[in-house]
Amino acid sequence: MLAEGNYEAGRNVYKEENRFYATVIGLAELKDKIINVIPLRGCYIPSVGDVVIGKVIDITTTAWIVDIRSPWNAFLFVKDFLSKPLNVIKEDIRNYLDIGELIIAKVTSFDRTKNPTLTTKEHGLGKIERGTVIEVDPTRVPRIIGKKGSMINMLKKETGCQIHVGQNGRVWISGKNREDEILVVEAIKKIESEAHTTGLTDRVYNLITKRRVSNGKEKTNI
């Protein structure tokens, strides 16, 4: 039971007599006497300092509105994206970043009373120009990274791909060719589906080795 009394049922909440219950496992939120529950599974809750992969879904005069796979869309203001001053009255900011484009960004502020804000003005952040982006359950991100980065480092070493795992469950993969990127996608999907099992790193390594052999790319030691 979430609450009892004079409230209204919001998202993922139902009322029985005078009591309110959640339909999913998640975080309860009370606003204006309305009880909502934000699902934990498949839903990203922003935290300051998180690096995420976002998709631009709308544009204002001074900011881009970014989908980060969260109940809250994020704002990326011009000053936090461009390295030079811009007169937003004279120039359309979509010339620099348009709807549908993807970015790697860091969460700079967030609380549940206002939307998160982002920045791309740090090393390794910015607009995604190439490669493949896939989505996984955000709860699987720690497994994809592995203890002390063991899993993600193995994937990078064995495939030669650049891989960036956003805390919001989007993964950017950039390889020398499409074939290598597809191999990483297959490996990550295996990690996601078998995250609860032991010996996963070895199985993923064996999968990559098998695929490379079949593709004629087996590594040799000289």
CATH code of the domain in which 79 resides: 2.40.50.140
pLDDT tens sequence across 65-85 = 999 999 899 999 999 999 888
Rounded CA separation 113/205 (Å): 44
| Residue 45 counted as domain residue | no
Could you tell me if residue 166 is inside a domain? yes
Of the candidates 28, 30, 41, the residue with the CA atom closest to the CA atom of residue 7:
30
Please give the Cα distance from 177 to 162 (Å, whole number): 12
Whether pTM exceeds 0.85:
no
Asked if 128 contacts 98 with a C-beta cutoff of 8 angstroms, the reply is no
Structure-block tokens of residue 186: 């297959």
- Domain end point (choices 107, 127, 147): 127
Q: Which of 154, 148, 218 is CA-nearest to residue 191? A: 154
221 domain residue, yes or no: no
Q: Give dist(CA 151, CA 157) in Å, integer.
A: 10
**pLDDT one-digit tens code per residue, 110-148:** 988 899 999 999 999 999 999 999 999 998 999 999 989
The confidence band for 53, taking pLDDT boundaries of 50, 70 and 90, is: very high
Residue 65 is part of which domain span? 51-127
Q: Are 31 and 71 in contact (CB under 8 A)?
A: no
182-206: average pLDDT: 94
Q: Could you tell me if residue 75 is inside a domain?
A: yes
